[in-house]
Structure 1
Amino acid sequence: MLLAQATRRFVVGFTICGTLMRVLVFDRLGGIASEQIDINKEPVQFIEVMLGFFRMSEEDLGFDPTIKITDGEPGIEIERNGRSECIVIDGLIIRMRCMVGRPTTCWKAHVKDLLETPLVIKNSWQPSERDEEREMLKQATSQNVVNVARYYHHEIVRLDGMIDDVPLQRSDNKRAAHAPDEYTHKHKATVRSNRLCPTPKQKDLLQVFENKCYRATNTNRSASACYHVGLRQGHNNAIYKASSRKALLACLEGCFKVQRPQISIRQRDISINNLMINEDPDNPSRKSFLIDLDFAINTEREKKPSVAQGKAGTRAFMAIGLLEGAEHTFMHDLESFFWVLFWLCIQYEGPGKAIEPTPYPSLNDLSDMTLACLKSGVISNCKFSEPEKLEFTPYYQPLIPHVCKLRKLVFPGGRARDKPFPQLYSKMIKVLHKAQKDPAVLAE
C-alpha cells in the first residue's frame, strides 16, 4: 500500500486468521504488531477494535495531513519571503519504487493563479550529516550557474510541531540504474513520513491488546534523516526522452558544462534521471540542466567527501575507479557522462523507448568489483575494435564513431585514467559539439 498509494505515510490494519486477530501498523522504518486475540473468546475486545477503526480519521489511517484541498485542487501551503503561498499539485512525475531508504517523490506543480510559474516539488529524506541539497541549489541560483536547477523554496516537514526525522539505514548512497516508471493518478499528494508514531486512536487500539506489541525493524542503522520538501523552478523531461539524437547530444553538452573547473559544485550523481531536457518553446525553463544535488559537495568548503557521504552515484553510471574504492574526483563525473551516453545507446531504441530485456539486466545484483570488471571489459580495445559487439540499438548506431572518440579520451589504451587530465573537459565538449553536426546523426 505504501507503493500503491502516494498519499500514504504509514499503513494501519488488522489480520484475521480463523478466529485469531492481530492489529498491525507499518511504515518505511518497520512495523508494530499486537499480540493476537481470539475474537470468539474475547468478543468485547474485537468490538472495541472495530469501533476504533470506524472512528479513525484519514490522518489516523496513515494518509498525509499536509495536503490541503483548496477549491477542489490538492496543494501545499508554504511560507516564502514572509508571505503564504499555495502550491497546486498538478500530477506525479516520479516516485522511486522502494520500500526503505530515501523514497524520493517528485510532483509537477505551480503557484496558484500563476500557471506560468511551473515548479517541481521534491519530497525526500536528507541525512543530517550531509550537506543539504537546498544549500547547493541556493548557491547555484545566487551565482547564476547555468544548467543547474533553480532554487525556489525549501522546508523541513513538521508534524504536530515536531521535525519529522528517522534513523537511517546505511546503503552506501547507491541507487537503482533503470529509469523509474511514471504514473498518473487521481488523488495527487505528497509529503510522507517514515516515522512510525501511533496517533491517540492507534494507541487506544494497541492498548486493547494489553500493550503487548512487537516491532520489526532493521537494526543496522546509523545517523538520522529529516524529511524535506524542496521546490525548484521549471519542469522538464529526462534526457532519455529527447526527441532526436541531436537534441540528446545538445542536452548532454549543456549538462556537461556544469563540470567546468570554475564551478565549485560537484553533483556526483550523473545519471539518465538527473539530466533534464526542455524542448518546449513555451516553457521558460532552461534548455538543459542537472537536478538532484543530494550527493553534491562544494569544493570551496571541502576538498573531499566526508566519510558519511562516502561512495555516491547511480551504479550503472559510476566511474570504474569509484567502484574500485577511489576517492571521488571531477574525473569520475566526466566518466559518468560517457556511461550515460553508452547506456542510452544500448538501452533505448528511440525517444523514451527502452528495450526489454536490456543487454545488462542485472547490474544492481553485482558487487562493486564485479561491476568494475564488467565495465573494464566493455571499454577494452577488443570490444570497441568491432562496433557490432557494442550492441547499440539501430536508432543510436549513428553515434558509434562519436562514442568511440569519447571512449579514447576517457579510457586511453582501453583503461581508465589514474591521474588527473584537466584538458579532458574541453576535449569531450568538442566531441559532443561536433557530433551534433554529423549528417548521419541528423538524418532521421
Structure 2
Amino acid sequence: MATYFSIKPESETPSEKEIVNEMESYARQIFRDQPNRVHVRSLTFTENHARLVHFDRAGSQITPPIDFHKNPGTLIRLVTGLTSTNERTMGLDDSVQWMIVNGRKTRGSVTTTSPSGERKTYPIVERIPTSRDSIRGRATTCWRVKDPETGEEYVVKDSWRPSDRSPESELLEVVKGIPGVVEMVSSESCRGEVKDMRCPSTIGQYHNRIATRVTTKSYGPPIYRFTSVVQLLSAIRDAIGGHQRLVGDDVRILHRDISHNNILLGKDGAEKGCRGVLIDLDMAFRALDESSKVTADQEIGTRLFQSLSVLHSGYLKSRSPAHDYLDDLESFFYLLAYIFLSYRPDGTLLPSGDDGPSIVSKWGDESASAAFEKKYLLFGGGPAAKRALRLVEGTWGPVCGSLFDELRWWVLEKRDEKDELLGGYPSERVANPLEHFHSHRDEHYAQVLNFFDEAIEAVQGSASTPTSIEDEPLSTSNPGSGIDASSPTIPSLPTPPTALPPCRRSARIRDLRQARDEPSPIPTQPSKTSIHIEPGQLTTQLRRSARLQKRRLEDEHQLDAPPPKAKRIKRGLRVTTRAR
C-alpha cells in the first residue's frame, strides 16, 4: 500500500485530533507491514477542503485545511506525489529491495557498508522480530543477512536515534573484541533525518531523529528462547561477565537497558564467556572519567526490568542518585526472576493465568510507582517473597530456587548498604559517599558470577547422575500455586533434612550432593567475599541494617510478617535528600 484517503462531508468534519487518530491506525499498519517504510502520508477530503497528514518516527503532522477550489494545482501535486511509483518519494528505504511474485514479497536484499568499507548487497535470511509497534520512537528493525561470497551471517540493525544522543556505533567501536558483548563490523551513522521530511517552518515542534544502521556479527536467538537450564544460566552468567568488562576502568560504559530482548544466546558450541551476548547500546552511557555520572531515569530502559532506584527516580527527580552498575545487576536479577516465573525449564511458556506470570506482569505497569510496589514485595521475608520462591522451586527445582533466593538477598543487601552510605554522609562533607563502596566493584561481580557458576555445576552434576522412579518420588504440584504437575522440570535433588538449621546456598548445594554420595566442588567451609576497610580509607563500617537482618531472620524462620513497604519508601526519600 502506498497511501490511503479519507472522505467525509463538510458537515461531519472531525477535529484535527480526531483526524490524526483515525489516520494513525492505518499508518501503524503500513509501518508494521513495510518495515523499510520511512514515512507515511495520506489525505483527508471534504467537498471543499483537503488536509495532508504525515507520520514519521518523530510523530505526526497535519496541514491546515486547503481549499482546492481556490488552489486546484495544490491538490493535483498532492495526489500525484502520494501516488508516485518512486520509492523514495513514496517513503520507502530503497536500500532494502524485495522480489515480488504474484503480489507477495519473496526474497529480499539489503545494501549497506561491508566490513571492508565498500557497498555490498546481502541476501536477507530473515527479518528478526522486534516488539516496537509505536510509530514514534526508535523503530528498531533487524535483518539477518548472509554474505554471498563467504556465507557468513550478519545482523543489520536499523533504528532512529534522537538527534541529541550519540550514535550507538561510537560505543560499539569501543567495545570491539570484548567477550559477552556484541561485535560491530560496519556502520552508517546518518542515513537521513526527520527534519528533512518536514516543512522547515515546523522545526522546534518535534524532536528530530536520525536514521542509523549498524551491522554486527550474528549470534543465537534472544535468551528467552533457551532450551535447557544450563544454556539459560550460562547465557546470563556470560552476559554479566560482559557487563563487568563494559563498566571496567578502561571502558566505563553502563548499559542501562538490561532486558530479555537485549541478551542473546551464544552460537552452538560457544566457549565460556560467549555463551550469552549483551546487545543494544542505544541507551548506554559512557563516563569520560571517574567522576562522570548519569542520574537514574525511569524513562530509560525496559520497565519490567528496571531497578527499584530507577523506578523511584521519577518521584525524587533531581534528588535521585546516580544510575550505577548495581542497578544493572539488579536488572539481571529481575531477568532471571522473569524467566523462572514465566517459563518451564525446557523453555516452554507457562500459561498466562498461572501464579508466576501473574506476578511478573505487574512489574511492567506503566506507572513507575505501581511497578515499584509490586517489585518491592519480591524481597524480604513476606508472604509474596516466599510465594515466589516456592513457585521457582516447584517448577525449576532446588538448585535454581537456591540461586534465585541467594541473588535476591544479595540485591537487597547491596541496596541497603548503598542507602546507608547515602544517608550517612552530609553532602557538604563527603562529595561521593559511594566511592569506597564502588571500589569493590570487581568483588561484587565475583560474588554474582560465583552464584551462577555453582548453580551451573550443580545442575550439570545432577543431570550426569541418572535417577530412577524407585530412588525418588515424582514431584507433585502445589495446590493453588498454578504449577502443573505434568510440567517438565530438571532432575530434582533430594531435599536436606528439615532438622538441619538454615544454611547458605553453597552449603545447601554441598549437602544435596553429599546426600547423593557425589563429590562436591564446593569447599567444606564456604566463605563470601567481604568488604574490608583499608587503612587510610573511609572508616565508616559497611554493615547491614538491623531491619535487613530482621527480614532475613523472618525469611529463615518462615514468619509471615509482610515487608515494611511504606517505611522502606519513606526511608528512600530521607536517604536521597540527605545525599544532595
Q: Check whether TM > 0.5.
A: yes
CA contact (8 A) 2:311 2:368 kept: yes
Letter in structure 1 aligned against 2:228: S
CA contact (8 A) 1:305 1:328 kept: yes
Looking at structure 1, the residues matched to 292 and 259 of structure 2 have their Cα atoms a distance apart, in angstroms, of: 21
Matched, 1:424 2:444: yes
Give me the CA root mean square deviation.
3.8
Letter in structure 1 aligned against 2:89: D
Which structure has greater helix proportion?
Answer: 2
CA contact (8 A) 1:137 1:150 kept: yes
**What is residue 283 of structure 2 aligned with on the other side?**
295
Following TM superposition, by how much is the alpha carbon of 1:59 offset from its aligned partner in structure 2, in angstroms? Answer: 2.4
Looking at structure 1, the residues matched to 388 and 175 of structure 2 have their Cα atoms a distance apart, in angstroms, of: 42
Alignment of 1:81-92 (within 5 A): 81-92=116-127
| Alignment CA distance shift 1:384-1:402 (3 Å) | farther
Looking at structure 1, the residues matched to 36 and 213 of structure 2 have their Cα atoms a distance apart, in angstroms, of: 15
Looking at structure 2, the residues matched to 127 and 52 of structure 1 have their Cα atoms a distance apart, in angstroms, of: 28
Give the TM-score normalised by the residue count of structure 2: 0.59
Which residue of the other structure, out of 171, 175, 179, is the alignment partner of 1:136?
Answer: 171
**What is residue 443 of structure 1 aligned with on the other side?**
491
Letter in structure 1 aligned against 2:219: H
User: Deviations along 1:34-92, whole A, 9 cap, x unmatched?
Assistant: 625589x9999877765555544232222222324699642213265353322332221
CA contact (8 A) 2:296 2:323 kept: no
| Alignment CA distance shift 1:298-1:86 (3 Å) | same
| Alignment CA distance shift 1:250-1:99 (3 Å) | same
Which residue of the other structure, out of 324, 328, 334, is the alignment partner of 2:329?
Answer: 334
**What is residue 347 of structure 2 aligned with on the other side?**
351
| Alignment CA distance shift 1:337-1:310 (3 Å) | closer
Letter in structure 2 aligned against 1:298: R
| Alignment CA distance shift 1:23-1:434 (3 Å) | same
Looking at structure 1, the residues matched to 99 and 332 of structure 2 have their Cα atoms a distance apart, in angstroms, of: 43
Alignment of 1:11-410 (within 5 A): 11-16=40-45, 21-29=50-58, 30-33=60-63, 35=65, 53-68=82-97, 73-78=108-113, 80-95=115-130, 96-115=132-151, 117-141=152-176, 144-158=177-191, 164-166=192-194, 196-197=197-198, 219=205, 221=207, 224-260=208-244, 262=248, 264=251, 265-281=253-269, 286-299=274-287, 301=289, 303-306=291-294, 312-324=300-312, 325-349=320-344, 350-351=346-347, 353=349, 355-357=351-353, 358-359=357-358, 360-383=360-383, 386-387=386-387, 391-392=391-392, 395-396=395-396, 398=398, 399-410=400-411
Following TM superposition, by how much is the alpha carbon of 1:93 offset from its aligned partner in structure 2, in angstroms? Answer: 0.6
Looking at structure 2, the residues matched to 393 and 348 of structure 1 have their Cα atoms a distance apart, in angstroms, of: 13
Give the TM-score normalised by the residue count of structure 1: 0.75
Looking at structure 1, the residues matched to 286 and 51 of structure 2 have their Cα atoms a distance apart, in angstroms, of: 50
Following TM superposition, by how much is the alpha carbon of 1:28 offset from its aligned partner in structure 2, in angstroms? Answer: 2.9
Letter in structure 2 aligned against 1:346: L
CA contact (8 A) 1:380 1:414 kept: no
User: Deviations along 1:126-171, whole A, 9 cap, x unmatched?
Assistant: 3344343212222221xx311001110111243xxxxx2247xxxx
| Alignment CA distance shift 1:220-1:14 (3 Å) | closer
Letter in structure 2 aligned against 1:99: I
Unaligned runs of 5+ in 1: 159-163, 168-194, 199-213
Following TM superposition, by how much is the alpha carbon of 1:319 offset from its aligned partner in structure 2, in angstroms? Answer: 1.3
User: Deviations along 1:406-426, whole A, 9 cap, x unmatched?
Assistant: 112111399574353643211
Aligned length: 390
User: Deviations along 1:378-411, whole A, 9 cap, x unmatched?
Assistant: 2122147634676549643552222001112111
Which residue of the other structure, out of 434, 438, 444, is the alignment partner of 2:454?
Answer: 434
Which structure has greater strand proportion?
Answer: 1
Looking at structure 2, the residues matched to 70 and 31 of structure 1 have their Cα atoms a distance apart, in angstroms, of: 32
Looking at structure 2, the residues matched to 393 and 17 of structure 1 have their Cα atoms a distance apart, in angstroms, of: 64
Unaligned runs of 5+ in 2: 1-29, 101-106, 313-319, 422-436, 464-488, 493-580
| Alignment CA distance shift 1:122-1:259 (3 Å) | same
Larger Rg over CA atoms: 2
Looking at structure 1, the residues matched to 266 and 274 of structure 2 have their Cα atoms a distance apart, in angstroms, of: 7
